[in-house]
């Protein structure tokens, strides 16, 4: 049994597994009106943010998630000038979005302001773009934001949400996707984190079905490693109003910023799905 004073452990009872971090000390703990947030200093993964007992991000490997939740969808859109990030309070996705010079406006809609304020304190490397004049930080309900926004008001929506529990539960529904579809412009794209393809097919496949039922023309899931999340293998699902299209290869090759994981080859390979996933998709579509 690991000493809880020396190790933080997230246990996945459903999949009979766990992931542990050796910790130096707890840096912060608070209960917000929405959730419990803890920050730890770990030995091997730098600072660690935990929400309601679930790991949100670590300083060591968050670049995998933030790069793959932003660059593939932005480079798949012909002109992503207006971007919304629903959730994403740690600001890592916002920072990656604003590396794209074609983005004229990026609005982050996070329900819990304390996530952002704690990120600014304990993960300042993720918050360097917060003062970019193109950035807007809104602390309100993302579901309501989308519901009241006018048609065709955004090119790309990035749903950087927690698991479908608590404040994040309503972000996985057909009604929410239908509102997103209405807000997107003609070539609009949405991407949402879609959990582990190995551990959470009961979330991922109904989510894809809800996107299609909402009216999205094309839905495709991309895959990437994420050591601190259950199974170590994560996904994002892209939904297109008219079609996902091909990546802007020349722009990727000449991108004016560096990445640690994402490149053109990764972009193309990430959409290659394993056979067990394709079979599950086929079965779902056949049975309706």
Instruction: Give 178-247 as a DSSP string.
Output: HHHHHHEEEEEEEEEE---TTT-HHHHHHHHHHHHHHT-SEEEEEEEE-TTSGGGEEEEEEEESS-----
Residue with tokens 């990035």: 158
Q: Same structural domain for residues 30 and 153?
A: no
Q: Same structural domain for residues 45 and 120?
A: no
Structure tokens at 97: 């979005």
Distances, alpha carbon 107 to alpha carbons 121, 140, 147, 154, in Å: 21, 12, 15, 10
Tell me, yes or no, whether 47 lies in a domain.
yes
Burial of 243 (0-12, 13-18, 19+ CB in 10 A): exposed
**Can you state the angle between helices 201-214 and 275-287, rounded to 10 degrees?**
50
Instruction: Residue 226: name the closest of 2, 25, 28, 19 by CA.
Output: 19
Residue with tokens 């004229």: 104
Q: Same structural domain for residues 76 and 19?
A: no
Structure tokens at 108: 């982050």
Q: Same structural domain for residues 183 and 202?
A: yes
pLDDT score, position 168? 65
- Evaluate whether 143 touches 172 at the Cβ level (below 8 Å): no
Count structural domains, the chain.
2
Structure tokens at 156: 């790309």
Tell me, yes or no, whether 1 lies in a domain.
no
Tell me, yes or no, whether 2 lies in a domain.
no
Q: Same structural domain for residues 124 and 258?
A: yes
pLDDT score, position 275? 96
CATH code (residue 35): 2.30.140.10
11 phi/psi in degrees, rounded to 5: -100, 130
Annotated catalytic residue: which of 160, 163, 179, 187? 160
Q: Same structural domain for residues 98 and 205?
A: yes
166 phi/psi in degrees, rounded to 5: 55, -130
pLDDT score, position 189? 98
pLDDT score, position 288? 60
Q: Same structural domain for residues 42 and 185?
A: no
Structure tokens at 190: 């949405």
**Is the CA virtual torsion 5, 10, 15, 17 positive or negative?**
negative
Q: Which domain holds residue 41?
A: 7-58
Q: Same structural domain for residues 171 and 48?
A: no
pLDDT score, position 267? 98
Give the Cα separation of 44 and 48 in Å (integer).
10
In sequence order, the 6+-apart residues with CB closer than 8 A to the CB of 285 are none
Instruction: Residue 214: name the closest of 194, 236, 235, 241 by CA.
Output: 241
pLDDT score, position 166? 63
Q: Same structural domain for residues 207 and 194?
A: yes
CATH code (residue 158): 3.40.50.150
pTM confidence score: 0.96
Structure tokens at 96: 């990656």
* Distance of alpha carbon 29 from the chain centroid: 23
Per-residue model confidence as pLDDT tens for the chain (288 residues):
688 889 999 999 999 999 999 999 999 999 999 999 999 999 999 999 999 999 999 999 999 999 999 999 999 999 999 999 999 999 999 999 999 999 999 999 999 999 999 999 999 999 999 999 999 999 999 999 999 999 999 999 999 987 776 666 778 899 999 999 999 999 999 999 999 999 999 999 999 999 999 999 999 999 999 999 999 999 999 999 999 989 999 999 999 999 999 999 999 999 999 999 999 988 877 776
Residue 160: active-site member: yes
**Is the CA virtual torsion 250, 251, 257, 258 positive or negative?**
negative
pLDDT score, position 286? 74
pLDDT score, position 155? 98
Q: Same structural domain for residues 120 and 254?
A: yes
Instruction: Residue 53: name the closest of 23, 11, 15, 24 by CA.
Output: 11
């Amino acid at each position: 049994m690991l000493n809880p004073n020396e190790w933080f452990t997230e246990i996945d009872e459903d999949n009979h597994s766990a992931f542990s971090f050796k910790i130096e000390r707890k840096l912060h703990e608070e209960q917000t009106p929405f959730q419990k947030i803890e920050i730890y200093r770990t030995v091997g993964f730098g600072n660690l943010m935990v929400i309601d007992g679930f790991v949100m991000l670590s300083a060591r490997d968050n670049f995998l998630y933030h790069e793959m939740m932003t660059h593939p969808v932005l480079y798949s859109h012909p002109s992503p000038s207006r971007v919304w990030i629903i959730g994403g309070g740690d600001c890592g996705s916002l920072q990656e979005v604003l590396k794209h010079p074609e983005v004229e406006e990026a609005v982050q809609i996070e329900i819990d302001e304390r996530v952002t304020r704690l990120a600014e304190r304990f993960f300042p490397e993720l918050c360097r773009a917060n003062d970019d004049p193109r950035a807007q930080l809104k602390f309100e309900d993302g579901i309501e934001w989308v519901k009241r926004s006018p048609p065709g008001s955004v090119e790309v929506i990035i749903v950087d949400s927690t698991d479908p529990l608590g404040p994040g539960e309503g972000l996985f529904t057909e009604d929410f996707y239908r509102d997103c579809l209405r807000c997107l412009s003609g070539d609009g794209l949405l991407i949402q984190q879609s959990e582990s393809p190995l551990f959470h097919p009961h979330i991922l496949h109904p989510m894809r079905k809800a996107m299609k039922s909402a009216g999205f023309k094309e839905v495709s899931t991309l895959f990437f490693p994420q050591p601190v999340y259950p199974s170590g293998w994560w996904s994002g699902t892209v939904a297109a109003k008219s079609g996902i299209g091909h990546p802007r290869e020349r722009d990727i090759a000449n991108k004016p910023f560096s990445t640690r994981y994402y490149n053109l080859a990764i972009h193309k390979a990430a959409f290659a799905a394993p056979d067990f996933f394709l079979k599950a998709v086929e079965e779902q579509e056949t049975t309706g």
